[in-house]
């Protein structure tokens, strides 16, 4: 025990001068909580909130690039659909949430931002276990943009490992409801780290490839694209790939993707709001094809970022 450490039992009041020091640091940003805008470091939820105690929450994330939201309408569609499926209500309609998200970004000043809207089940005033008695809680925040893959990884491609962990089946949790049930994904990540990889994919209940922590995956074979169809979040960037393929005359389909077929692909890439379209060049230690970023992946990556300048796909933030 250090000289400055003082022991006392839990029934005693805090000693004079004692105070809790938050050991965490927070990214620069602005949050909306309980009707007010706050610095990220001041945005707190109760430990009795069901979002914390039971992971009873839904959320969605959208990014801002060069001062514009990208495909915000699609993210709002998914968020409000999740609220309805989970029987949650918030005191804001679609326009209200849009205004709050714009305000969070504008007040933060970020031109490239990761923006989240979320709703927890909240807490019951009586600590009831009946979810109908909990008061749902909406919040939002904007912090600097971050990517699943860093600059080096985007250039050379990610090193990925396939874990034998199985994604929560859709019969248990509808994967279209974006949620915080990530223990299967986190365990898969540790499997990947133990094998010298940088990120992971886990399997669906049939033993096919499912998804990774915060991203979908695509395989390219003979110029045709495929992505897992079941047990995965229908990501907005995943949908954007389908839209881009439609414009470019490329064939893309959602279907079962076996581990063997993924490893035998000509190209592999992952998709996420946090990073867009990101190449994968090694799986389980072996190169994908020649181990280099492929032409279809490169083409789609360039098109994806070009679309950020298209007013049909983006909406400007009104900064002060």
How high is the mean pLDDT in each 10-residue block of the chain (320 residues)? Answer: 45 53 85 97 94 96 98 98 98 98 98 98 93 96 97 97 96 95 97 98 97 98 97 97 97 98 98 98 98 98 97 95
CATH number of the domain located at residue range(s) 30-144 in this protein: 3.30.470.10
CB 40 within 8 Å of CB 283: no
Q: Which tokens hold the place of 237?
A: 């960037």
Helix axes 236-248, 295-306, angle to 10 degrees: 100
pLDDT at position 242 is: 98
Strands 113-123 and 135-144: antiparallel
Domain with CATH 3.20.10.10 in the chain: 151-308
Q: Which helix (H) or strand (E) element contains residue 271?
A: strand 267-272
pLDDT at position 10 is: 47
Does domain 151-308 fall under CATH 3.20.10.10? My reply is yes
Domain with CATH 3.30.470.10 in the chain: 30-144
Nearest-angstrom CA–CA distance, 299 and 251: 14
How many Cβ atoms sit within 10 Å of the Cβ of residue 116? 20
CB 140 within 8 Å of CB 70: no
CB 205 within 8 Å of CB 231: yes
Q: Which tokens hold the place of 27?
A: 């990214």
């Amino acid at each position: 025990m250090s000289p400055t450490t003082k022991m006392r039992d839990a029934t005693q009041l805090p000693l004079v001068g004692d105070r809790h020091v938050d050991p965490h640091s927070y990214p620069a940003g602005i949050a909306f909580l309980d009707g007010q805008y706050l610095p990220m470091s001041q945005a707190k939820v109760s430990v009795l909130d069901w979002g914390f105690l039971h992971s009873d929450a839904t959320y969605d994330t959208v990014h801002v690039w060069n001062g514009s939201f990208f495909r915000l309408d699609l993210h709002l569609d998914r968020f409000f659909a999740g609220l309805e499926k989970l029987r949650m209500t918030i005191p804001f309609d679609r326009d209200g949430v849009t205004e709050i998200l714009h305000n969070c970004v504008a007040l933060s000043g970020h031109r490239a931002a990761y923006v989240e809207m979320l709703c927890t089940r909240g807490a019951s005033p009586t600590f009831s276990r009946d979810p109908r008695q909990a008061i749902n809680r909406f919040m939002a925040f904007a912090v600097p943009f971050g990517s699943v893959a860093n600059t080096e990884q985007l250039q050379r491609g990610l090193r990925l490992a396939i874990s034998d962990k199985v994604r929560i089946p859709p019969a248990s949790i509808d994967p279209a409801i974006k949620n915080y049930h990530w223990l299967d994904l986190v365990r898969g990540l540790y499997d990947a780290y133990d094998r010298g990889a940088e990120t992971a994919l886990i399997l669906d209940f049939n033993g096919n490839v499912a998804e990774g922590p915060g991203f979908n995956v695509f395989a390219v074979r003979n110029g045709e694209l495929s992505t897992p169809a079941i047990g995965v979040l229908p990501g907005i960037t995943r949908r954007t790939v389908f839209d881009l393929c439609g414009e470019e005359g490329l064939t893309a389909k959602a279907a079962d993707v076996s581990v063997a077929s993924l490893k035998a692909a000509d190209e592999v890439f992952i998709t996420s709001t946090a990073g867009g379209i990101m190449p994968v060049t090694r799986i389980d230690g072996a190169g994908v094809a020649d181990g280099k970023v492929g032409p279809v992946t490169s083409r789609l990556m360039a098109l994806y970022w070009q679309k950020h300048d298209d007013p049909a796909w983006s909406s400007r933030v009104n900064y002060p």
